[in-house]
Amino acid sequence: GITPSTENMPDANAYRPADVITASNGKTIEIISTDAEGRLVLADALVYADRYQPKAVVDLATLTGACVVALGQGMAAGLFCNDDALRDRLVTAGTATQERVWPMPIWDDYKEAIKTPVADIKNSGGRTGGVSTSAMFLKEFTSYNWAHLDIAGMALSSADKWYVPAGGTGYGVRLLVEMLRHW
């Protein structure tokens, strides 16, 4: 697996709104929200994954509060996918492990929200449709079967559950192991 990580240390060299940066694949990105930094790191990881010619890539990230608003805390991860078979495998595995996923829209219409005249793409589409526009941003960096799980509402639990105590849940481990068992 690939684990993209970085230290987020604001200083005089940090990017600012309206800056244009270049991703590892050469795409230019206008910075709209400096709080949408996680998707920038993830975008480069998705580009990097292409080197291995994967049959599929599944990424998990606590990417947006918008997903928690849409699905609720502790209910399900938002699932965005460009391949029906991969989506179905994840839904089935989520049901079997009780690490539920819920398919969310990633229609081409969401591209409009991340268009900009000053770069190839912008890093945020604004408040409305935020969970889908963030996934559309990531999709722009894939060329293979791909699924994005926004686990913002699933990573922490305030109460004990039969399969995990309160605190960090480790969400996604059982889900992915189950999916791979039936690959």
pTM of the model: 0.94
> Considering the domain boundaries, does residue 9 fall inside one?
no
> Considering the domain boundaries, does residue 1 fall inside one?
no
60: CATH: 3.40.630.10
User: How far apart (Å, rounded) are the C-alpha atoms in residues 34 and 54?
Assistant: 31
User: How far apart (Å, rounded) are the C-alpha atoms in residues 88 and 84?
Assistant: 6
> Considering the domain boundaries, does residue 4 fall inside one?
no
Token pair in block for residue 126: 């604004």
If residue 174 lies in a helix (H) or strand (E), which one and from where to where? helix 173-181
Q: Quick one: pLDDT at residue 71?
A: 96
Range of the domain at 54: 20-181
> Considering the domain boundaries, does residue 13 fall inside one?
no
Q: Quick one: pLDDT at residue 6?
A: 83
> Considering the domain boundaries, does residue 6 fall inside one?
no
> Considering the domain boundaries, does residue 10 fall inside one?
no
- pLDDT digits (tens), the chain, 183 positions: 899 988 888 888 889 999 999 999 999 999 999 999 999 999 999 999 999 999 999 999 999 999 999 999 999 999 999 999 999 999 999 999 999 999 999 999 999 999 999 999 999 998 899 999 999 999 999 999 999 999 999 999 999 988 889 999 999 999 999 999 999
Please count the structural domains in the chain.
1
> Considering the domain boundaries, does residue 5 fall inside one?
no
Burial class of 112 by CB neighbour count within 10 A (0 to 12, 13 to 18, 19+) = exposed
Q: Quick one: pLDDT at residue 164?
A: 84
Of 169, 153, 156, the C-alpha closest to 77 is 153
> Considering the domain boundaries, does residue 174 fall inside one?
yes
Side-chain-facing half-sphere of 66: CA atoms under 13 Å: 17
